[in-house]
Amino acid sequence: MIDSAHAPPSFDPPPFEPPPFLRNPHAQTVAGCFLQDTSRYPLRPKRRGVPLPDGDMVVIHDDQPDDWNPGDRVVLLIHGLGGSHRSAYLIRIAAKLHQHGYRTFRMDFRGCGAAVGLAAKPFHCGLSDDVAAAIRKIHHCCLNSPISLIGFSMGGMTILKLLGEDRDDLAAEVDSAFSISPPIDIVRCGLSIREHPNYFYDRYFTKMLLDFAKQHRPFCQLAKRVIRQSPRRVWDFDELYTARKWGYESAEDFYQATSAIQHLHRIEVPTQIVTSRDDPLVPFDMFERAELSPSIGLHVTERGGHLGFIGKRGVDPDRWWLDWRVVEWVSQLPRRFPETRPVEILTSTSLA
């Protein structure tokens, strides 16, 4: 029997039911990506740079509500491939958590959002060290606050990899995680995205990655050569650029080394995964093969596509079914650590 301290929080959401016009997984995926009106979610974050040991930098965006007090829970939200702190799903969920009194931090990976031009190396989904650096920064800003991690797609896979690694630099304040549509086996995803009809996504993401490479041209002659070759598949782009830039022999070697599936059995932080059986980008069979730690809860919807989950009216205050599940999940967690927990003393050394 699993220790209650490591058991995932209770998660029993209402069934996800899409509207009749969004029952197709591709319709859910595309609508979830392109419905981007966030004007009714005003946030005024403070931008905080997070220097990395190799000289690159990521950025976190700090949204602190007026009723948040030191020691209250904070939430780190991490975007997916092609996203940033400006991604609609991050803005919507951060705003809803803000309304419930939670301080949120939205992270920009290397070269994304506000971090454009601040990194010589490209981002990839295995950069768990970068997330750990962001967590340490948040820990120093919010001493003794419990920290929840929420990751979407690529970001969701990165936090699973982080939590399952054998490392001693993860802040003890990280007490919970929520991962949405994580591509836990990147080799499987890399092969699936090339199949009909998913090649549409393959072309879309490849173009996006080439655009990122163009931003790295001042840093890298390799980027210039890859742009001239103009690969048409994500696998080919990673073979030519990402894998070589990070010292891997091939894209397959890179995918195998950075996939979270090999780490899931070691996760001890209470973690919830939500995915859909019809996700066109994350084949469900990888979860059937995965060895999940007892600390992980897996909730599977029959429909929802990839980061779609646009539901019918009447279940939630708006159609964004996933947003409300995240808010409910965070709201059931303790807002503060018990008073009996040892309090860390903040010193100038700990801020170095």
In a domain, 3, yes or no: no
Look at residue 345 and tell me whether its pLDDT is greater than 80: no
Radius of gyration in angstroms for the set of CA atoms belonging to the chain, rounded to a whole number: 19
| CA–CA dist 85, 107 (Å, integer) | 6
CA distance 100 to 49: 26
Tell me how many degrees the CA angle 125-130-133 measures, rounded to the nearest 5. 155
In the listed set 258, 293, 311, which residue is the last one of a domain according to the structure? 258
What pLDDT was estimated at residue 351?
Answer: 35
CA dist 290 and 8 (Å) reads 17
DSSP code of 238?
I
- Of 2-6, 76-80, 331-335, the one with minimum mean pLDDT is 2-6
238 is catalytic: no
Give the whole-angstrom CA distance, residue 296 versus residue 273: 7
Choose, from 61, 85, 124, 306, the residue flagged as catalytic. Answer: 306
- Predicted confidence at residue 136, as pLDDT, reads 95
User: 166: pLDDT confidence band, cut at 50, 70 and 90?
Assistant: confident
pTM: 0.93
Residue 308 CB partners (closer than 8 Å, separation 6+):
18, 22, 25, 27, 28, 29, 31, 32, 276
Instruction: Indicate whether 129 and 274 sit together in one domain.
Output: yes
* Active-site residue, from 279, 293, 295, 323: 279
Query: 111-141 pLDDT, tens per residue?
Result: 999 999 898 888 998 999 999 999 999 999 9
**Residue 141 and residue 276 in one domain:** yes
In a shared domain, residues 193 and 160: no
In a domain, 127, yes or no: yes
Clarify whether residues 144 and 289 are in a common domain: yes
CATH number at residue 170: 3.40.50.1820
List CB contacts of 307: < 8 A, sequence separation 6 or more. 29, 32, 33, 80, 89, 152, 153, 180, 181, 322
Percent of the chain topping pLDDT 70: 93
For residues 46 and 222, which has the higher predicted lDDT (pLDDT)?
46
Q: Which one has a higher pLDDT value, 352 or 97?
A: 97
Do 229 and 280 lie in a common domain? Answer: no
Question: Confidence class of residue 346 from pLDDT cuts 50, 70 and 90?
Answer: very low
Catalytic residue among 148, 153, 259, 295: 153
pLDDT of residue 41: 83
Number of structural domains in the chain: 2
pLDDT exceeds cutoff 80 at 343: no
Q: What is the pLDDT of residue 147?
A: 97
In a domain, 210, yes or no: yes
Name the band, by pLDDT with cuts 50, 70 and 90, for residue 352: very low
Give the pLDDT confidence score for residue 102 in this predicted structure: 98
- What is the extent of the structural domain holding 235? 186-258
Distances (CA, A) of 90 to 24, 72, 102: 23, 20, 14
Q: Is 279 a catalytic residue?
A: yes
Asked if 253 and 264 sit in the same domain, the reply is no
Res. 230: pLDDT tops 80: yes
The answer to whether residue 349 sits within a structural domain is no
Q: How far apart are CA 171 and CA 131, in angstroms?
A: 11
Burial of residue 155 (number of CB atoms within 10 Å: 0-12, 13-18, 19+): buried
Instruction: Find, among 104, 47, 37, the residue nearest to 76 by Cα.
Output: 104
34 has a pLDDT exceeding 90: no
Are the CB atoms for 236 and 260 separated by under 8 Å? no
Q: Where are the alpha helices (DSSP H) in 151-294?
A: 154-164, 186-192, 199-215, 221-229, 234-237, 243-245, 251-258, 285-289
Residues 34 and 103 in one domain: yes
DSSP conformation letters of 253-322: HHHHHH-GGGTGGG--S-EEEEEETT-SSS-THHHHH----TTEEEEEES--TTTT-B--TTSSSSSBHH
213 and 326 co-located in one domain: no
Quick check: is 351 in a domain?
Answer: no
Domain boundary, last residue among 210, 226, 258 = 258
Look at residue 343 and tell me if it is in a domain: no
Q: Are residues 141 and 155 in the same domain?
A: yes
Is-catalytic flag, 306? yes
Which tens digits make up the pLDDT trace of 270-318?
A: 999 999 999 999 999 999 999 999 999 999 999 999 999 999 999 999 9
Residues 165 and 276 in one domain: yes
Query: Is residue 344 included in any domain, yes or no?
Result: no
- Residue 221 domain-assigned? yes
Q: Rounded distance, CA 181 to CA 156, Å?
A: 7
Rounded Cα distance between 295 and 315, Å, is 29
Higher model confidence: residue 195 or residue 48? 48
Same domain (yes/no): 76, 37: yes
Q: What sign results for the dihedral spanned by CA atoms 88, 254, 299, 147?
A: negative
The verdict on 109 and 238 lying in the same domain is: no
